[in-house]
Copies of this chain bind each other. A is one copy, B any other.
């Protein structure tokens, strides 16, 4: 970190800061400007509180130099991490599609959707058994029964299951049914949960919090990674802004920004990031055009009867059309959509080429 002293800082104050830097095991480089002294603290200061220095007499500002995450950074790993979701891997050249209802509502519903999205080309089934709902009066999910229905849908279709875990005490139970553990936006900084998932060896799909910066998303990933679980998939799902025309604002910039900062795969969830089914397909296309490694899409055969998120759910036939359009865009940017389950992977499925960003 760099510590910028105030214009009128005394030599004694500078010396005091220097001593403090050294006491943290860091070495010091002093730089005397025209108006101010700048003190460079040299070494890995990720665990050192910057606040401490801000409060020392004579200090004007403290500027961090190192990014606060390490394992998630591109500097840690040159090659893109690929995470298995059933038969397919996300993070390679082939785009992966996850689709399904917001909530598991009934056996009939989840089986109908599972067959439909598999038919349309999805590579995994999403569906919530435990649902975080803003209102205590809204449908809260089927819980354990929902997990069983998801397992049944997997058995029937072969689709791996992506489902949300809401609390540490659910991790074990959900891990039995799920192929990928989803951490919802509201739990992105539920550090107890991140810790618990970091101790499993299940792939984790970490959604960006609705007011989390890209850096905070990477710090949340770092929690999981630093507890030993290296299979982390990031997901942009829209952020909260002043705009009310859509439920959230898709931060499309975050896609290439994340790809430049981290080796982890990056998905887009255009269902939540728009909140309105009419805009899901164009924003899905945009996500792939911007370099996302896959999409997670809400699909419901009868959105007007859905117990949650109906207004952002696509009907199966519209999802099939989305897949067609996304495939065309993926090819336009030098990628493919991963083949449907059961079909062989192309010989050379990843030539390492990727759109420059």
Contact = CB atoms under 8 A, between A and B. Distances in A.
A252 B252 contact: yes
Interface residues of A, number: 117
Interface string A1-21: 010100100000000000000
A321 B215 CA distance: 30
A306 B32 CA distance: 29
Interface string A311-346: 100000000010001001101110000000000000
Contact of A278 (B75, B137, B260, B303): B260
A299 to B, nearest CB: 14
A257 interface: yes
A155 interface: no
Copies in the complex: 4
Given A38-B2, A285-B333, A310-B55, A241 B244 contact: no
Contact of A135 (B170, B222, B328): B222
Given A29-B31, A49-B308, 5 more contacts: A34-B44, A69-B135, A166-B192, A286-B286, A289-B289
23 contacts: A38-B65, A47-B138, A49-B310, A52-B305, A132-B191, A135-B222, A136-B227, A210-B211, A211-B240, A211-B242, A213-B244, A214-B243, A214-B245, A215-B245, A241-B249, A246-B253, A253-B283, A256-B278, A256-B282, A282-B355, A285-B355, A286-B287, A289-B329
